[in-house]
A and B are shown apart, each in its own frame.
Chain A
Amino acid sequence: MMAPSYNAKEEDGHQPGATGHGGAGTMTNKKPDNTAFKQQRLPAWQPILTAGTVLPAFFVIGLIFIPIGVGLFVTSNNIKEFEIDYTGVDMSSPCYNCSQSYSWNNTQSCTCSVHFSLDQPFESNVFMYYGLSNFYQNHRRYVKSRDDSQLNGDKTSLQSPSKECEPYRSSDKPIAPCGAIANSLFNDTLELYYIDPNGSRTAIPLVKKGIAWWTDKHVKFRNPSGNNNLTVVFQGTSKPVNWRKPVFELDPLDSDNNGFINEDFIVWMRTAALPTFRKLYCIIQKKPNNMTPTLPRGEYILEVTYNYPVRSFDGRKRMILSTISWMGGKNPFLGIAYITVGSVCFCLGLVLLSIHYRYGKRNNSAEISS
C-alpha cells in the first residue's frame, strides 16, 4: 500500500526552471556508508543444527519432561474428588419430584435430600462446587447481556442500564443487576450433613467467603457508593425477573456480602468457557486441630433446596467435592501430556541416534537434515 507512490520522486521530472546547472554539485558524496547494518554485515549468531546439538536436546527434553509429567500425574491422582448428580431425571432419584413440579411462581421451595458416602477421607480444605451441563453460559447473546459499569457501581448505569441487557433491562423500573447472566443466577441452596455412625446428623460448616476472584471482588464489582444502606442505594430499581430477593438481600447472614459484591453472584457472573462447567460454591475449611480429616469417610446427606430448573434445556446439575493441590483440581491431562511429549522426544532421540550411528559417518550431510 505504500510502494506504489514510492517512486514518485522519479515521476515528477519537472525540474525547477532556475536550477539548470546540471548534476555537477549533486554527485559529490553519494558513496554509501560503510556501516555494518547498511552492508548487512551485523555480527550474528548463526546456529547450525547438527546431530551433536539436536540429539542431546531431544534427550534433555525427554529427561526433563517425563519426571515433570510423572509429578503432575501423581499430584493429580492424590487429589480426591467426589461428584454426584442431583438433577432428578430418574424416577428413583430423590429430587425427581422437585424437578417435575418446578415452576418459577412457586412460593414454596422444594427440598430434597441426597444420600451419598465417601470411601476415603478428604483432608485439608475441601472445595464444594456446583456443576451444570448443557448450560451455554458462553453463548454470545448471554455473554454480552450485562452492564459492567452498572456492576462497577456507576450511578447512571444503575438507573439506565446498557442496551446490551435487553430483554432483561427493565420491567417497570430499571433492573439491577440487569442482563441475562444476572437474571439466571444459580439459586439452589446446598447443605451438607455428616451422618455419624451413631445416626446423628451434624451440619458441616460451609464458608461462602473467598470463592470469588480477588480482582473481581475488589476491582470489577462495586456497590453504588454514597450510602451504607443498600436498600436506599438500590431504590428506584427492581430485582431481576427470576429472582426472589432483591440484590441487596442476597446473603441474609452477612451484611457485607450483599449487593453487587455478593460472592455467589460474582462467581456466577464470571461466565464459563464451556457448556459443561463447575463453579465454586463454598469452602469446607480444615479442622483446626488437624487430627481428624475435614470430611471423614462415611455417610453424608446433601440437602438441596431445588430452585433451579434445568430440565427444559436438557441440563444436569451436580455437586462436586474436591481437594486441591498446588496445580488446582483433579486434572490428569497435564501430567499425561508431559509424559507423552517427554517420551516421544526420548524415543525420537533414540531413533535418530541409531540412524546417526549407522549412517551418519557415511554421509555427513545427513547431520544437517536431522
Chain B
Amino acid sequence: SRKVDSRTIYVGHRPCPTTEALIPPKFCDNRIVSSKYTVWNFLPKNLFEQFRRIANFYFLIIFLVQVIVDTPTSPVTSGLPLFFVITVTAIKQGYEDWLRHKADNEVNKYLVTVLEDGRRARKESEKIKVGDVVEVVEDETFPCDLILLQSSREDETCFVTTASLDGESNHKTHYTVPDTEKNLESLSATIECEQPQPDLYKFVTVFSRCVVFFRSLGPENLLLKGATLKNTQKIYGVAVYSGMETKMALNYQGKSQKRSAVEKSINAFLLVYLCILVSKALVCTTLKYVWQSRPGQDEPWYNQKTQKEKDTNLYLKMFTDFLSFMVLFNFIIPVSMYVTVEMQKFLGSFFISWDKDFFDPEIQEGALVNTSDLNEELGQVEYVFTDKTGTLTQNNMEFIECCIDGFQYKYADSGTELDGFCVTDGPVSMLQQKAGREKEELFLRALCLCHTVQVKEATGQGDGVGDGMIHPADLRGFIASSPDEVALVKGAMKYGFKFLGMESKNMRVMNRNNDVETYELLHVLNFDPVRRRMSVIVRTKSGDTMLFCKGADSSIFPRVRQEEVDRIRMHVERNATEGYRTLCVAYKLLSSEEYDQADTGLREAKLALQDREEKLMAVYNQVETGMSLIGATAVEDRLQEEAAETMEALQGAGMKVWVLTGDKMETAKSTCYACRLFQRSTELLELTVRTLHSWAKSKPVSAFSVPPRSWSSANQDYGFIIDGATLSLVLNSSPDSNSSCYKSLFLQICQNCTTVLCCRMAPLQKAQIVKMVKNSKGSPITLSIGDGANDVSMILEAHVGIGIKGREGRQAVRNSDYAIPKLKHLKKLLLGHGHLYYVRIAHLVQYFFYKNLCFILPQFLYQFFCGYSQQPLYDAAYLTMYNICFTSMPILANSLLEQHICMEVLMDNAALYRDVAKNAMLRWGPFLYWTLLGVYQGLLFFFGVRFLFSNPALQDNGQVFGNWSYGTIVFTVLVFTVTLKLAMDTRHWTWINHFVIWGSLAFYMFFSFFWGGIICNQKRVKQIKIYILSLRFVT
C-alpha cells in the first residue's frame, strides 16, 4: 500500500523478488513545458488573456458598441488603435512563446544515456521515466532529479555546481548511496521518497535494498536537474523526480506582480474621468430629449427620420443615444495612454541598465532590471529596509584577532616572532603573557577542523593533494557557503595550521611543524540559523573522539562552563562593539559511550522519514552540551564603499532607514555608527531581552510604558533597537486585547525614530516587519535591499525589492525588482533615476488626461449647437490620429528624456527628493490644476472659434466655412496648444525633443494639407493666424 505523502521508486524498474507483483506506479514523463501556447490555441487563449485586462476589455466594449449601434464615429476610430495594441502584444508574446518552445525542445530532445537491461541506450531526455538509471558525464547538466548511485571518483562523491539554480558557483560535494553494490545491472532496490516539493535544500528519503537493507538519504545524495556535474568523469543515478515535478520546475513559479502607487493614482483619475464621461453622456441624452420635445425640433421637414428610426422603441432609442454619446466622448480615456505609459516604462528602464555608473569592474556587470513596472516607485521610497551583512558591509571577511583562553592575539604582518603570533594586550593582570601552547594549538586545530570548507583543486582531475606534495598555500583556494569559514581557515593558516582538504572521510591538517595530521570526520552537525552554531565530531589518530563546536556567543555560552565564559566575554563584547563578527570556539572530548550514544542518535534521526529536522535538532542539542570554551575569534567585515555617504543621502532625502540583520546587537550597532545611521547625538532606545529583564527586575510593568517621553523635544534624533526575541513578543503576543495595542505603539515609536535597528532577525521576521510598515497608516512605500537568500522574503514583501549582486549567491538578485552591484549605487538609483522617473511619469499621466480633456470638451460643447445629435466636431481621421500620431511622440520623448533638474544636482541635494515624496505630483491638487487647465483651454478653443464663426465668411473672396472647417480650426488650435504647452514644460531640450516637437507639428500640417483636398489652402493661412491668437489666451 503506497502512502499518499511518499512515492516508491523501483530502481531500474526491477521489483524486489520478495514483494508482490510490480504495479508500475505512474509518474509524469520528463518533458518540460514552459510554453503557454500551442499553434492551435494561441489565438483564442492569447486574446482571452489580453481581454482579461480591464482597459482592453473597456475598449473592446466601446468597439463593439460602435459596430452594433449606429454611432457617430466609425468603429475604425477606436478599433484601429485597439487592434494595433492587441496585435503588437500578441506578436510579442507569440515570439516569446516561440523562444520558450525552442528552449523546451532543446532540453526535451537532448540525448542522454540510460541503462536498460544492462545495455546503454541513447534516449531523448523527455523519455526518461522515474526509476531509469541515467548516466551523466562531466560538464553535463542533470536531465532530471537523480539519486546518485555510483560515481567514477574513488571516494564515491561527485562535485556539482548549482550556478543555474541559485547562482552559487562553488563546487558542492554529493555522495553516493552508501554501501550499494557496484553492479548496477543487478541492483534491485526501492526508494521511498516524499512527493515533489519545491524546497531545494530539503530532501528526505529511505533507500532500501529489498527490505533487508535501509539507508536514509538526504539532500547530499540528490542531484538536482539544472545543476552541472564538475570534476567527475561520470556518474550513474536513478531518476526520482521528472519533468514538471523536479525541484527546479517547481521553483519556477512566477513571482506575484507588483503594482506601483502611480498606477493606483492613474486608476483613481481614470475613475474620475469615467464619471465625467458618463455624466457628459447623461447630460447630453437628457438635453436631447428635452430639446426634441419642443415642437418642430425633432423632425423638421428638411430632416425626416427613416422608417426604421420611427419604429424604434423610445427607451431603446434613449439607451442607444446614451451609448452613442459614450462612444463620441470615449476618447477622453484613450487607449494610447496605456500604450504610452507602458512604452515609457519599458524604454525608460533601459536607462538604468545602461548607466555606466552602475557598472562594477570587479564583477563586470551593471545594474539589472527585472521589472519595468516600478521605475517611478524608486522616487517615492519612504522606508528603506536594509540587510547588514553583504549590504552595508562587504561580506569580505578578514580574520582580525582571536582570543585564546582569555588572552588576545592580534596578527601582525611584520611579526618578528617565529610563530607569527604577537600578544597585543589582554587582561590587565596578565599583560604580555600568553596562553599555553597546548591551548593555542587546540584552538587552531579547532579552527582547521570545525568547518565545511573545501579546497579548490588546481587542475580538477585526480587527488592532487594525495601525493604528499604540498602546494604553496597562497595558490590554494577555499570554497565555502559562508565567507566567515574561509576567513577562519585562512586565519588559522596565518598562524601555521593549514587545512589541506578532505581525503575520503579524512581531514588533513598540516601543523606548525609541517607534519600532516589526519582526522577521521565522523559527523558534521550542520549550521542552522536557529541553533546558530555548528559542530564536527572527529577521531584523532590516537583514537580520541573529539567534538569541536563554533557558534555565536549567545548559543555557546550557556553550553560551556561558566568560569571560562567570564574570561572571554569581555573580549567578545569589546570586539563586537568594534564592529567585528565574533564566534566562540568550544570543544569536548567524547568518551566512547558518549560517542556511541550520539552516533546511534544521529543515525536514527537521519533515517527518520518524518520530522527528521526536529529529531536531528534534539540530538544536536543533546550532544553539544558540557563543552569547554577555548577561545573566540573576531572577523572584520568591512563597510561597503561609500556606505556612510549613501545612508546619509538617504536620510537627507527623508527616508527612514531600518537595518534588519541576523547579526548580534553590538556588531550591528557599531555598523550603524560606522554608517552614520546613528550619530553621537542620537539617543538610543533599546528594547531587547536584556533590557526587558532589567526592567522586569526593577518594576513589573509592561515594557512599553517606559520609553516614550515627549517626542516633541526638538531636533533630538532617536534610534531604536530591538531584537528578534522581543520583536516576536510584540508581534505574536497572545491574542488578547493588548497585542494590537502593543503593535501600534511599537510602530508609532519606530516611525518617530530616524533609524531603527532590528537585530537577531529570522528571515521571516524581516518580511513581517516590512509587511507591518507597509500596511501601516498612510501605506508608505517601502524598499528592501539585501544580497542573500535570507533577504528574499523581505525583498519580495516590500514595494520595491533591490538585490545586491554580492557573494551570497544569486537568489536575492533573482527575486529582486532591480539588482545593483554595490550599495553605493542605491543613491543614484533612488535620488537620480527614481526622482526623474517619478517626475516624468507623473507629468506624462497628468498631461495625457489634460490633452484628452481639452480634446473632447469642444466636442461635448458642440452638442449644444447641433441639437444633441452626436455630430462629431472633428473629422474621423483627426479623431483617430490625435493620440496616435499628432500628440503622442512629443510627450513620449519628454517622458523619457526630461531632466527638470539635472542628475548631478539631484544627487548632491538629497533634500530635493522630499519635493516629490508622498506622490506629490499625482495628488488631487495637481490633478485639479491640470483638469481645470484642460477645461479652460477646451472652453477657449470652442468658444473662440464659435465667436469667430458668428460670421463664417472668413476669406477674402467672401466664401463661408462649414462645420468641418469649424472642427479643423478647433483641432489645429488644439494640436498646437497642447504641443506648445509641452514645449513650455520642457526644461531639458535635447535635439530629440526639438525634432519630435517641431516634427509633430510639421507632420500635422503636412497631413492636413494632404488630407484636405476638401480644404482650400487659403484657409490654412487663416488657421495659423487664428491659432496665434488663441495661443495667447492660453498663456
Contact = CB atoms under 8 A, between A and B. Distances in A.
Given A1-B89, A136-B869, A140-B869, A10 B989 contact: no
A275 interface: yes
Contact of A313 (B140, B161, B297): B297
A368 to B, nearest CB: 12
Contacts of A16: 103, 106-107, 110
A60 B252 CA distance: 66
A180 B302 contact: yes
Given A2-B342, A337-B1029, A22 B163 contact: yes
A212 to B, nearest CB: 7
A79 B107 CA distance: 85
B897 A12 contact: no
Contacts of A2: 88-89, 92, 339, 342-343, 346
Contact of A140 (B72, B110, B307, B953): B72
A46 interface: yes
Interface of A: 1-18, 20-23, 27-28, 30-34, 38-40, 42-47, 61, 65, 125, 127, 129, 135-143, 145, 166-168, 180, 183-184, 210-216, 219-220, 267, 270-275, 277-280, 283, 309, 312-314, 322, 324-331, 333-334, 337-338, 341-342, 345
B44 interface: no
B370 interface: yes
B89 A215 contact: no
Contacts of A326: 956
A11 B866 contact: no
B150 interface: no
Contacts of A330: 951
B249 to A, nearest CB: 8
Contact of A328 (B85, B366, B865, B955): B955
Contact of B228 (A20, A38, A65, A312): A20
Given A27-B364, A143-B871, A280-B953, A313 B300 contact: yes
A219 B366 CA distance: 61
B512 to A, nearest CB: 38
Contacts of A23: 163, 169
B323 to A, nearest CB: 14
Contacts of A314: 296
A214 B869 CA distance: 30
Given A13-B248, A329-B951, A333-B948, 13 more contacts: A1-B53, A8-B96, A16-B106, A17-B106, A30-B364, A33-B354, A39-B356, A46-B902, A125-B958, A135-B302, A137-B963, A313-B296, A329-B954
By secondary structure, the A interface counts as loop
B903 interface: yes
Contacts of B343: 2
25 contacts: A1-B338, A5-B92, A7-B370, A14-B104, A15-B226, A18-B110, A20-B228, A31-B366, A38-B356, A40-B897, A45-B989, A47-B987, A140-B869, A142-B303, A212-B959, A214-B1016, A215-B1016, A270-B960, A272-B963, A273-B961, A275-B867, A280-B960, A313-B301, A328-B951, A338-B1029
B962 A271 contact: yes
A278 B359 contact: no
B1013 A219 contact: yes
Q: Shortest 3 CB-CB distances between A and B: which pairs?
A: A184-B302, A273-B966, A329-B953
Contacts of B208: none
Contacts of B359: 30-32
B963 A143 contact: yes
Residue in B92, B303, B373 with the greatest tally of chain A CB atoms within 10 Å: B303
A314 B291 CA distance: 14
B124 to A, nearest CB: 11
Nearest to B1012: A215
B56 interface: yes
B870 interface: yes
B1032 A139 contact: no
Contacts of B161: 22
A216 B965 CA distance: 13
Contacts of A345: 1032
Contacts of A270: 960, 962
A369 to B, nearest CB: 14
B416 interface: no
A73 to B, nearest CB: 13
Given A138-B865, A210-B957, A334 B992 contact: no
Contacts of B959: 211-213, 280
A180 B304 contact: yes
B140 to A, nearest CB: 6
Contacts of B960: 129, 267, 270, 272, 277-280
B301 A309 contact: yes
Contacts of B125: 17
Contacts of B903: 40
B1014 interface: yes
Contacts of A138: 865-867, 869, 871, 963
A34 B356 contact: yes
B143 interface: yes
A44 B951 CA distance: 46
Contacts of A324: 953, 956-958
B426 interface: no
Contacts of B944: 337
B895 interface: no
Interface string B993-1007: 100000000000000
A167 B951 contact: no
Contacts of B625: none
B953 A328 contact: yes
Contacts of B990: 42-44
Contacts of B358: 32
Contact of A65 (B34, B89, B355, B1032): B1032
Contacts of A31: 356, 359, 364, 366
Residue in B112, B305, B958 with the greatest tally of chain A CB atoms within 10 Å: B958
B688 interface: no
Contacts of A334: 948, 1026, 1029
A184 B303 contact: yes
Interface in B90-115: 92-93, 96, 99-100, 103-104, 106-107, 110, 112
B141 A273 contact: no
A258 B226 CA distance: 85
Contacts of B163: 22-23
Contact of A1 (B303, B342, B956, B958): B342
A329 to B, nearest CB: 4
A331 B948 contact: yes
Contacts of A328: 951, 953-956, 958, 1022
A20 B139 contact: yes
A258 B112 CA distance: 88
